[in-house]
Structure 1
């Protein structure tokens, strides 16, 4: 099968591309190498994808291009059986500073992908959305019927992506699925995320920094669970036209997370606190029953197991990864 992964040099896209190549598929990665964070991590993702292809019967092709470029997108989508659209301008706080850029990439870019797929023989487009679409919780855990009132331009752009994805299914008959990710983490994750920062600071005998009072909670989802959710959509139509939550087994308070990482790595440290950003969500927690019913999604990695795996990986890759985290 020929698979296109937009944003395939990024964190989630890079893991997906490597897994698909490992499984013997012909993978095309479209990525513009936006320097939102150090590009050394993206280079590592590309290396992993190429290595996976070399060790299997699959292929790996990298196309440097921007999803805002209609011609580039059209050429990349043309021969793809399935498109996994992961490319986006990430970052809630970045979106507050650059809302127009976020809209151009996340909304206009997604429209380019959907339009190209409509004009081709593409069998399915899987679009990466975010728990940021929910905004302020009326109840927890969030199910997909919960009101969507995003509190950041990023969340608003992801909600617009979802709506266009649904419209292309309903109006044009294009098989589409939108997956609402809940704070994905794991090896080669973005260096400016809470878990990577907590681990890095503790390993360097520096106190973890919490933004706000730490009572805010997150549903952290390990990358392997996210990969499995996407893999099921290669050959099932059960979720076409749907939006699905992709979360973990539970949620955790940020303060508790910081304390547990601190207690394991540097128990002598005191936590530090800084001002919380208004655009940061107060709580996230996924109801995954719909994803379980339609695609058999069952996350298997608890936050404590996932953090332990990430910490082990961090230590093994500290020589190249840590400088990127420290400079983020």
Structure 2
């Protein structure tokens, strides 16, 4: 059985559905916290259940990685754990750093303690490019200093170090994947690309925070899924930390312009105050992942944004508020 924590979220949901389609038995754990519209998560769960009609089995468990007993029971039955659950959002972490620490660090320790007792085949941890913070040089390489500039980045770095130490001390096969700004279908509505697309689709100007010169290495979610899936079949990366990015960077202003030109070229771009905790630049060197697991990104930002715009315009109901049953 494969356990996916955060399995109703953006990346976790794609992992769970893909694994089910490939014939695996999957359990998805998620607390359905309304960090964004829970309706999106419920649709994600239904997509995985539909995939199970022609693939492996799927079970959704509503629960929290901070609940050690629940985590222990689920990990005990798992062969592989893909630990995606986290409190996301740099800006959220600036507002409430203790909550981010509680979920991202303490929750990860619960997963690791359970894995230590159960003897799983592998724990794959979703880390983040936010651990780098202020770049010493670009592109980021895994061995360069980590100086995160937000509580979110600190929490991911702390959890990542626990993953490494537990792997070394207790002989747990672990891998940490540092994701670089993941986007694609079902992405959070408060992320830059989805926000730009939503606003332009509704004839509202895209809003760039700061002067737009910040650059990001945007990674299409299908590439993230492929990197994770590789770890079902190889131990070549056990004990390692790897960048999973696209190697293709773009400025936020250029991104906003690209989306605007594709949907509503008559709109002007608006600018707001830069948000605290945002990194200036991100850019991944993925050569280590290429050598260890054959990772190679397949989607550049321009073609990926076009694909997301097409998906969004065909699936706008994903982002419409849904009536929640009591």
Question: What's the TM-score bracket when you normalise by the shorter of the two chains?
Answer: over 0.9
Distance 1:284 1:184 in 2: 12
- Residue 189 of structure 2 corresponds to 191
- Residue 236 of structure 2 corresponds to 238
Q: Secondary structure at the match of 1:178?
A: strand
Query: Is this contact kept in 1: 2:128–2:180, CA < 8 A?
Result: yes
Query: Is this contact kept in 2: 1:219–1:284, CA < 8 A?
Result: yes
Distance 1:217 1:210 in 2: 12
- Residue 16 of structure 2 corresponds to 17
Q: 1:323 to 1:202 in 2, by over 3 A?
A: farther
Distance 1:214 1:123 in 2: 44
Distance 1:319 1:246 in 2: 30
Query: Is this contact kept in 1: 2:6–2:12, CA < 8 A?
Result: yes
Structure 1 position 249, deviation (Å)? 3.5
- Residue 155 of structure 1 corresponds to 153
Query: Is this contact kept in 2: 1:79–1:121, CA < 8 A?
Result: no
- Residue 267 of structure 1 corresponds to 265
Give the 5 Å matches for 1:41-56. Answer: 41-56=40-55
Query: Is this contact kept in 2: 1:130–1:181, CA < 8 A?
Result: yes
Q: Which of 101, 108, 111 pairs up with 2:109?
A: 111
Structure 1 position 160, deviation (Å)? 0.4
Report whether the alignment pairs 1:91 with 2:89: yes
Structure 1 position 322, deviation (Å)? 4.7
Distance 2:19 2:318 in 1: 25
Cα deviation code 1:143-198 (max 9, x no counterpart): 10111000111000000011000001111110000000000011010010000011
- Residue 313 of structure 1 corresponds to 311
Distance 1:170 1:266 in 2: 53
Cα deviation code 1:40-60 (max 9, x no counterpart): 01001100110111122x000
Distance 1:9 1:134 in 2: 27
Which contiguous aligned blocks of 4+ residues in structure 1 show a shift greater than 6 angstroms?
A: none
Distance 2:194 2:85 in 1: 21
Query: Is this contact kept in 2: 1:249–1:301, CA < 8 A?
Result: no
Q: Secondary structure at the match of 1:234?
A: coil
Structure 1 position 323, deviation (Å)? 5.2
Structure 1 position 270, deviation (Å)? 1.0
Give the 5 Å matches for 1:279-298. Answer: 279-298=277-296
Structure 1 position 278, deviation (Å)? 2.2
The TM-score normalised by the length of structure 2 is: 0.97
Unaligned runs of 5+ in 1: none
Distance 2:238 2:36 in 1: 33
Q: 1:238 to 1:320 in 2, by over 3 A?
A: closer
* RMSD value, Cα: 0.9
- Residue 172 of structure 1 corresponds to 170
Distance 2:163 2:269 in 1: 42
Query: Is this contact kept in 2: 1:129–1:159, CA < 8 A?
Result: yes
Distance 2:187 2:3 in 1: 21
Distance 1:170 1:76 in 2: 23
Unaligned runs of 5+ in 2: none
Query: Is this contact kept in 1: 2:5–2:85, CA < 8 A?
Result: yes
Query: Is this contact kept in 1: 2:186–2:318, CA < 8 A?
Result: no
Report whether the alignment pairs 1:229 with 2:230: no
Q: Which of 61, 69, 73 pairs up with 2:71?
A: 73
The TM-score normalised by the length of structure 1 is: 0.97
- Residue 146 of structure 1 corresponds to 144
- Residue 136 of structure 1 corresponds to 134
Query: Is this contact kept in 2: 1:95–1:153, CA < 8 A?
Result: yes
Distance 2:33 2:286 in 1: 32
Query: Is this contact kept in 1: 2:176–2:241, CA < 8 A?
Result: yes
